[in-house]
Chains A and B, each alone.
Chain A
């Protein structure tokens, strides 16, 4: 192994049923560098990390670490640790009820007893040397998320750590906290630790890293030095052009959309999770929020639906002022919302496909007016047929369906309520190409029938194909609205990247 290189991964392949999650991916980490690993959803970032930390077994390829002559095989996180590979996950995996010092040392000390004095002294020294603003005897849950993250890092680097993996460490931190974390990362870099920084925040990558590796659809796009890679080019590489030759879907012209009556309008709408924003959609219009993950696009539509507590703003529907404080309010006003996280917010896993389909309509009809079994059966069969949902029967629990079919069921649930305004947040994530196209076609068909649709997707190609207007978001703010001729990949990317282009 060459000098200064702490980790090499060569030709890593990992196959899951039906997908090639990683296809001959190479990755090299040098001593004392911060190496950003980038890519959109499903690019293979987390799969690569999990292979490296022994959570998944690789199907092919070699991993070398500094100090070991032969290729190593890693079978568990513990084993990864023994090679000096430590990971700090996005979901902080520490115990909130224990003190900071304990969280740093529990599970890795020798002996049957705990020497609190020595442990707290050692913890104090380590925290001080890393400049982490926490006290050893403080309960972890009383620290901010950033500090908790840093405690996790301190725990990781206290072992003989050569490779430190930070998996989306900044996604729930504010600017100050991010700055604090970056200081710590630079400090560790100086000490010669190689850091793999997984993130989707462009600015942060440019601020702190030396090198970038980009993945897309399980393939390696390339490894670049940060200085030599303009942001626009990075965005282009991440989002890329869909290689599948999808049939062309016809889309209305920008001019037509300008003439539409306004269906829904929000002024300075804000929620606990989103900053105030203005937004409108016309009758029969398809528009979309775009931006990278974490840019605030999901939070904005959640605010429209009342999914997060709404904190302010005025909302009108078809010219009438309405109040949306909770999801039921939105539903009663004809707004439907297909959530981003299907597992967490969408499906009721153990219930049947039929019950999942009728759920929203049922709630709208009220508790005293249940849909009869026969009627439910009819609705379910109708939509199973119409959307081509592949299920053994309408009695099958939705949890046993494939992702794409689950998504269609949730879509059916909302279509059944005949909404005036349909919000689709990442409806095509994690589902196969055929279903993706079907859903896109459906969206356009619904719009033709007069429904307004807001569409969110990580894939710009997809958005360009379906939307007549794109609202571009960056760092939780709307930074541009694109219509007509502006709806091209390069325009969108420039606006997202913020460099040049026509923003604001």
Chain B
């Protein structure tokens, strides 16, 4: 029976905010603990920037995945798309895709225009994947898991079809792409006492901008809110006058687009196209989103949380390495344990919520 206590005014904190706050607190606590215990590396801001540099693409993928998961769907093609885009991008840069060589020659464009083409192709490939998968899932109502699994197979297969050998971007162009933003004020002295400025890659800026943009999209736009409604209760969303099919389609389209951008950022970071690029990125992204407080059941989640989810995962890995557990298996075992902890935590939160609903 409902007791009258249910009518009392609760603090207006939503599940999304609650789960996100937990994640941020755990991240901050963990990082602080790491500084206290191991000091050294963790004290240097560069540690944080290295994490960002290495994980910029993962942040972007996870943003896309968060959107899809909020609508109660899933996309496991994101890693494959990222890898495919990175491969295509590198091939454009080093002139292995002749179509673009032709265009550049015909229009008399400078070599650096290759970067523009690479970016355009990234967006195009991402959108294409998002469009097809979104259509099949939203309009033909096929299981997202199977469709995006096929998407993953297709993307991974295409990588080796278009290029057998690992590709490397030309140095001249990579120098442009891998320009780092130096921040002397956040620098730290090396062994000789020379201040080494903190370095951040352009990809991180792109990732951060995208996090903000996706945050605004989810928070401030009608489309963004409809994602939450669809994920919360699809039937109700329909009754509330929301175009459910369109929302689901758009979520997958956006996720595809973001994977495309992630591929470009990945290419900027590594400068290489390789069949094993971004391996298991989809599962890392799902794990990050979950740790960040996104529920696979839909309707709950936030990209800020996801951002911290990525950082949490990477901090765990750093801590494991620093703490002397140097055996290679500890990283993923601790990651798994952490994941288990977050999943159980969320399950408890969910049960609490459901009890309220009777």
User: How many Å lie between the Cα of A272 and that of B10 in the bound state?
Assistant: 25
Q: Which of A108, A109, A141, A272 has the most CB of B within 10 A?
A: A141
List the B side residues contacting A94 at CB < 8 Å. Answer: 233, 236, 240
Given A112-B223, A113-B222, A176-B4, is A99 in contact with B12 using a C-beta cutoff of 8 Å?
A: yes
Q: How distant is the Cα of A133 from the Cα of B5 in the complex, in angstroms?
A: 13
A214 contacts partner chain B, Cβ-Cβ < 8 Å:
no
User: Is the CB–CB distance between B221 and A112 below 8 Å?
Assistant: yes
- Determine how close the nearest CB of chain B comes to the CB of A421; give it in whole angstroms: 28
Q: Is A400 an interface residue (CB 8 A)?
A: no
Please tell me if B63 contacts chain A, counting CB pairs below 8 Å: no
Cβ–Cβ contact A108 & B241, under 8 A: yes
**Pairwise interchain contact A174-B2, C-beta atoms closer than 8 A:** yes
With an 8 A cutoff between CB atoms, is A75 at the interface?
A: no
* Docked complex Cα distance between A141 and B13 (Å): 11
- Bound CA span A492–B222, Å: 55
Query: Shortest beta-carbon distance, A184 to chain B, in Å?
Result: 14
Give chain A nearest CB distance to B355 CB in angstroms: 10
**Are A113 and B1 within 8 A (Cβ)?**
no
| Selected contact of A141 from candidates B4, B229, B241, B353, CB within 8 Å | B353
Size range of the chain A interface in the assembly: 35 or more
Contacts of A174 in B (CB 8 A): 1-2
Considering the complex, which residues of chain A in the window 39-79 have a beta carbon less than 8 Å from any beta carbon of chain B?
77-78
Set B2, B16, B237: member contacting A95, Cβ < 8 A: B237
A107: interface (CB < 8 Å):
yes
Interchain CB contact under 8 A, B7 and A144 = yes
Measured CB to CB, the closest approach of chain A to B5, in angstroms, equals: 9
**A97-B231, A133-B9, A174-B2 given as contacts; is B14 within 8 A of A139 (CB)?**
yes
A129, CB-defined interface residue at 8 Å: no
* B221–A95 CB distance below 8 A: no
Q: Is the CB of A95 within 8 A of B12?
A: no
Find out whether the CB atom of B356 lies under 8 angstroms from the CB atom of A95. Answer: no
B4, chain A: closest CB distance, angstroms: 6
B2:A135 contact, CB within 8 angstroms: no
In contact, B356 and A142 (Cβ under 8 angstroms):
yes
A418 CB-CB contact with B under 8 Å:
no
Known: A93-B240, A97-B300, A174-B1. A133 touches B12 (CB 8 A): no
Of A108, A133, A139, A145, which is within 8 A of B358 by CB?
A: A145
- Specify which of B4, B235, B236 lies most central, judged by the most chain A CB atoms within 10 Å of its CB: B236
Q: Which residues of A contact B237 (CB under 8 A)?
A: 95, 107
CA distance A225 to B12 in the complex (A): 44
Query: Which A residues are CB-close (under 8 A) to B7?
Result: 133, 144, 146-147, 176-177
What's the Cα separation between A78 and B1 when bound, in Å? 35
The residues of B that contact A113 with a CB separation of less than 8 Å are 220-222
Q: Tell me which residues across on chain A come within 8 A of B221, comparing CB atoms.
A: 112-114
Q: Which residue of B has the minimal Cβ distance to A137?
A: B12
Interface membership of A106, Cβ < 8 A = yes
Residues 88-112 of chain A, each 1 if its beta carbon lies under 8 Å from chain B, else 0: 0100111111110011001111011
Interface status of B6 (Cβ within 8 A of chain A): yes
Interface bits B294-311 vs A (CB < 8 Å: 1, else 0)? 000001100000000000
Residue of A nearest to B358 (CB): A145
* Residues of A contacting B2 in the complex (Cβ-Cβ under 8 angstroms): 144-145, 174, 177
A402 contacts the other chain (CB 8 A): no
A139 with B12, Cβ < 8 A, contacts A94-B240, A95-B240, A114-B222 known: yes
A482 to chain B minimum Cβ distance, whole angstroms, is 29
* Contact partners of B241 in chain A: CB under 8 A: 78, 106-108
Instruction: Tell me how many residues of B have a C-beta within 8 Å of chain A.
Output: 38
Assembly CA distance A103 to B229 (angstroms) = 9
Distance A114 CA – B224 CA, assembled complex (angstroms): 9
Tell me the bound Cα distance from A144 to B300 in angstroms.
Answer: 20
Interface residues of A in 123-182 (CB under 8 A from B): 133, 135, 137-139, 141-142, 144-147, 172, 174, 176-177
Does B266 touch A at the CB level, under 8 Å?
no
Contact yes or no, B242 A106, CB < 8 A: yes
- The interface residues of chain B lying within 8 Å CB-to-CB of A176 are 4, 7
Instruction: Verify if B180 is at the interface (C-beta below 8 Å from A).
Output: no
Residues of chain A within 8 A of B300, CB atoms compared: 97
Contact pick for B232, options A96, A108, A145, CB 8 Å: A96
Query: What residues of A have a CB within 8 angstroms of the CB of B219 in the complex?
Result: 114, 116
Residues in B whose Cβ lies below 8 Å from that of A145: 2, 357-358
Contacts of A109 in B (CB 8 A): 222
CB contacts (< 8 Å) of B356 on chain A: these are 141-142
Nearest chain A CB to B297 CB, angstrom units:
10
Which among A77, A111, A139, A177 is the interface contact of B239 at CB below 8 angstroms?
A: A77
Asked whether B228 lies within 8 Å of A114 as measured between CB atoms, the reply is no
B246 within 8 A of A: no
Q: Which of B13, B225, B235, B358 contacts A102 (CB 8 A)?
A: B225
B242 to chain A, nearest CB (A): 5
Q: Is A107's CB under 8 angstroms from B229's CB?
A: yes
226-276 of chain B: CB within 8 A of chain A: 226, 228-229, 231-233, 235-237, 239-242
CA distance A135 to B299 in the complex (A): 20
Residue B15 at the A interface, CB < 8 A? yes
Q: How far is the CB of A52 from chain B (nearest CB, A)?
A: 16
Contact between A138 and B12 (Cβ–Cβ < 8 Å)?
A: yes
Instruction: Find out whether the CB atom of A95 lies under 8 angstroms from the CB atom of B233.
Output: yes
Indicate with 1 or 0, residue by residue over B1-43, a CB within 8 angstroms of chain A CB atoms.
Answer: 1101011011011111000000000000000000000000000
Chain A positions 255 through 297: 1 when the CB is less than 8 Å from some CB of chain B, otherwise 0: 0000000000000000010000000000000000000000000
List chain B residues, Cβ under 8 A from A137: 12
Who on chain B is nearest to A96 by CB? B232
Chain A residues whose CB sits within 8 angstroms of the CB of B240 once the complex forms: 93-95, 103, 106-108
Task: Point out the residue from B1, B9, B13, B232 that lies within 8 Å of A98, measured CB to CB.
Answer: B232
- Enumerate chain A residues within 8 angstroms of B10, measured Cβ to Cβ: 138, 142
Contact A97 B232 (CB under 8 A): yes
Identify A106's interface contact among B1, B225, B231, B235, CB under 8 A: B225
Residues of B contacting A114 with CB < 8 Å?
219-222, 224-225
CB distance from B240 to the nearest CB of A (A): 4
Residues of chain B within 8 A (CB-CB) of A139 are 12-15
Residues of B within 8 A of A108 (CB): 240-241
One digit per residue, 1 when the CB lies within 8 angstroms of any chain A CB and 0 when it does not, for chain B 331-357 equals 000000000000000000000010011
Who on chain B is nearest to A81 by CB?
B241
A96 to B353, CA, bound (A): 9
Closest to B357 in A: A141
Measured CB to CB, the closest approach of chain A to B343, in angstroms, equals 18
Q: Inside 8 A of B6's CB, which chain A residues have their CB?
A: 144
Chain A residues with CB below 8 A from B220, complex form: 113-114, 116
Complex Cα gap A206–B37 (Å): 71
B residues engaging A (CB < 8 A)?
A: 1-2, 4, 6-7, 9-10, 12-16, 219-226, 228-229, 231-233, 235-237, 239-242, 299-300, 353, 356-358
What 7 A-B pairs have minimum CB-CB distances, sorted nearest first? Answer: A107-B241, A95-B232, A97-B299, A97-B232, A137-B12, A93-B239, A107-B240
Pick 29 A–B contacts, CB within 8 A, sort by A: A77-B239, A89-B239, A92-B236, A93-B240, A94-B233, A94-B236, A97-B299, A98-B232, A103-B240, A106-B222, A106-B225, A106-B226, A106-B241, A106-B242, A107-B229, A107-B242, A109-B222, A112-B221, A112-B223, A116-B219, A116-B220, A133-B7, A138-B12, A139-B14, A141-B356, A142-B10, A144-B6, A144-B7, A272-B1
Known: A106-B225, A147-B7. 4 other contacts (CB 8 A): A77-B239, A98-B299, A111-B222, A174-B2
Residues of A within 8 A of B (CB): 77-78, 89, 92-99, 102-103, 106-109, 111-114, 116, 133, 135, 137-139, 141-142, 144-147, 172, 174, 176-177, 272
